Amino acid sequence: MYNPSEQITELGKANVASAIKLASLSIDKAEKLVNLNLNAAKLALAQGVEGAQAAASVKDVQELFALRAKIAELGVQSALGYSRTLYELSSEAQTEFSALAEETWNMYTRGVATWVERASQSAPAGSDAAINAFKSTLAASTAAFDQFQKVTRQVASLADASYRAAAATATPSNGAAKARKAA
């Protein structure tokens, strides 16, 4: 006779393992984001101190304009570096979270499909319609999730291409040229 509690226990253990992976992945990504922000704050502080010291030693207007252009260029470089690293971190996180979701979904659907198959073998006569309806629902939800994953990958790919195109046009030399023209 089929004992569903064993299979339910296995699904529960798999869910706990997935939850642990999700928590670990979340903590890892949060730690990377905190480190990025701490490094950005340290860099901003150092640049501010350096700019203030340089401004205190300015002797004429030309030197002041040159300093202003240098500070503007450093600001643009810092902002671009920060945004590039932030984008890489979020892209990496999106990829890893998507892979975890896909792995968890596949494990879940395999487990449920196995459970339905075993349960159908010991089901009473006349329950074929209900079992087939459940199998059909499971197949439809699996197909919907697969389509969702496909669309998610396409959106991520489009966003990545858009970001890379924008980053290629926003170079530090463009920012410095604009700062010099403004001066």
Confidence bin at 171 (pLDDT 50/70/90): low
Q: What is the pLDDT of residues 30-62, one digit of tens each?
A: 999 999 999 999 999 999 999 999 999 999 999
Which residues lie below 8 Å from residue 102, measured CB to CB, with a gap of 6+?
Answer: 149
- Helix axis angle for 61-121 and 4-56, nearest 10°, is 180
Domain boundaries, the chain: 4-182
Q: Can you give the pLDDT at residue 107?
A: 87
d(CA 22, CA 103) in angstroms, rounded, equals 11
Closest residue by Cα to residue 79 from 30, 49, 31, 44: 44
Report pTM: 0.71
Give CA–CA dist 158/82, Å, rounded. 21
Given this model, what pLDDT does residue 111 score?
82
